């Protein structure tokens, strides 16, 4: 397939999927119903959730400096902050283009070589991925009985155990094949796994590794708190369990990768998770839209201002030079 067609499809398909999921979610709960929930919501909790989200983004921008300092680059904190917000905004239009733009901003305004800047972004994504896996494992540990009971009601327990056994054996066979194989696919898999390991271990080689680890944990703690705090704005979600929050958060987080910024997929992912706990469809989807909209609005405003102010802020430094 032509490379231009591939690039176009990578942009168009997530957008089309997002539009379809928006239509599908609104076919389940109308705009009028969502508007009713929005009117009845406690805006204090929505504002507090947005503030927690803002703190996570600021922490991400500050953490980035720890990765660049060992390479001899002491970037300005405002540039780091604006680059982070610009990343999120651009990712709403073209998936993963924000990361490229973020590294380019450093190159333009801080003279950091593109490949070095981009390398730090990849390394921090690896750190985030590890924490995400940690949250999943903690959730499985805390909610194992509930999750097992839920699936046992839907499926035969013997079939579940058999499926897990087959999955485990298949994984062992697959990784042994990958380890010995020299095919392009196997090489890519090994390269990816080695990159994960190298990226994870590189954290412990930093001068400020504990500060980096603290900020990484802080970022994800703010994400989870943001999700929980915003749920308090919906009266019908009062008393929601910790398990529902954690599984809802995990489901919603993965939905962001499905479409540009989670458009359309985010509310449905929240509903899919909450439905396991018997939470009604209307407040679940309404909460998903409110949660997504509040964070998206913040990104649009701060990301837009960042793109406008970046050249203005840095022009004074160029004049000094």
State the pLDDT at residue 140.
86
Cβ atoms of 101 and 303 within 8 Å: the answer is no
Task: Please give the model's pTM, rounded to 2 decimal places.
Answer: 0.81
Cβ atoms of 273 and 247 within 8 Å: the answer is yes
pLDDT digits 0-9 by tens, 176-192? 777 777 777 777 777 76
Cβ atoms of 234 and 37 within 8 Å: the answer is yes
Is 307 inside any structural domain?
A: yes
Is 17 inside any structural domain?
A: no
* Distance linking the first and last C-alpha atoms of the chain: 48
Tell me 321's DSSP state: -
Cβ neighbours of residue 1 closer than 8 Å, sequence gap 6 or more: none
State the pLDDT at residue 247.
92
Is 78 inside any structural domain?
A: yes
Q: Is 213 helix (H, G, I), strand (E, B) or coil?
A: helix
Is 11 inside any structural domain?
A: no
Is 18 inside any structural domain?
A: no
pLDDT digits 0-9 by tens, 192-239? 666 556 655 666 677 788 889 999 999 999 999 999 999 999 988 988
Cβ atoms of 266 and 13 within 8 Å: the answer is no
Residues spanned by the domain of 65: 29-320
Tally the domains of the chain: 1
Tell me 1's DSSP state: -
CB atoms within 10 A of CB 145: 8
pLDDT digits 0-9 by tens, 78-109? 999 999 999 998 888 776 777 888 888 988 88
Is 8 inside any structural domain?
A: no
Dihedral, CA of residue 299, residue 131, residue 59 and residue 84, to nearest 10 = -40
> Is the pLDDT score of 263 beyond 90?
no
The mean pLDDT of 244-253, rounded to a whole number, is 92
- Report the alpha-carbon distance of residue 3 to residue 247 in Å, rounded: 38
Is 137 inside any structural domain?
A: yes
Cβ atoms of 25 and 285 within 8 Å: the answer is yes
Burial of 64 (0-12, 13-18, 19+ CB in 10 A): buried
> Is the pLDDT score of 265 beyond 70?
yes
Taking the CA atoms of the chain, what radius of gyration do you get in angstroms?
A: 22
Cβ neighbours of residue 146 closer than 8 Å, sequence gap 6 or more: 243
State the pLDDT at residue 2.
59
Is 223 inside any structural domain?
A: yes
- Report the alpha-carbon distance of residue 233 to residue 41 in Å, rounded: 5
């Amino acid at each position: 397939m032509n490379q231009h067609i591939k690039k176009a499809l990578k942009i168009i398909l997530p957008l089309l999927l997002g539009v379809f999921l928006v239509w599908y979610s609104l076919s389940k709960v109308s705009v009028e119903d969502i508007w009713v929930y929005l009117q009845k919501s406690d805006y204090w909790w929505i504002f507090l959730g947005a503030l927690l989200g803002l703190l996570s983004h600021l922490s991400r921008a500050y953490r980035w400096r720890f990765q660049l300092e060992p390479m001899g680059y002491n970037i300005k904190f405002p540039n780091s902050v604006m680059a982070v917000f610009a990343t999120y905004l651009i990712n709403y239009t073209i998936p993963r283009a924000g990361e490229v733009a973020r590294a380019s901003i450093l190159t333009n305004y801080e003279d950091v070589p593109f490949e070095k800047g981009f390398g730090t972004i990849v390394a921090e994504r690896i750190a985030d991925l590890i924490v995400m896996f940690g949250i999943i494992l903690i959730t499985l540990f805390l909610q194992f009985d509930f999750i097992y009971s839920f699936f046992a009601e839907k499926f035969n327990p013997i079939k579940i155990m058999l499926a897990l056994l087959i999955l485990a054996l298949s994984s062992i066979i697959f990784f042994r094949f990958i380890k010995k194989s020299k095919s392009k696919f196997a090489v890519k898999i090994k390269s990816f796994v080695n990159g994960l390991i190298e990226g994870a271990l590189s954290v412990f080689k930093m001068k400020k590794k504990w500060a980096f680890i603290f900020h990484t944990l802080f970022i994800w703690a703010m994400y989870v708190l943001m999700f929980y705090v915003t749920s308090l704005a919906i009266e019908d979600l009062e008393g929601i369990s910790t398990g529902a929050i954690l599984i809802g958060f995990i489901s919603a987080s993965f939905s962001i990768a499905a479409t540009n910024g989670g458009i359309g997929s985010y509310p449905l992912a929240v509903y899919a998770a909450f439905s396991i706990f018997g939470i009604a469809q209307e407040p679940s989807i309404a909460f998903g839209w409110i949660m997504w909209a509040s964070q998206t609005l913040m990104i649009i405003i701060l990301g837009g201002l960042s793109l406008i102010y970046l050249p203005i802020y840095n022009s004074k430094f160029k004049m000094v030079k």
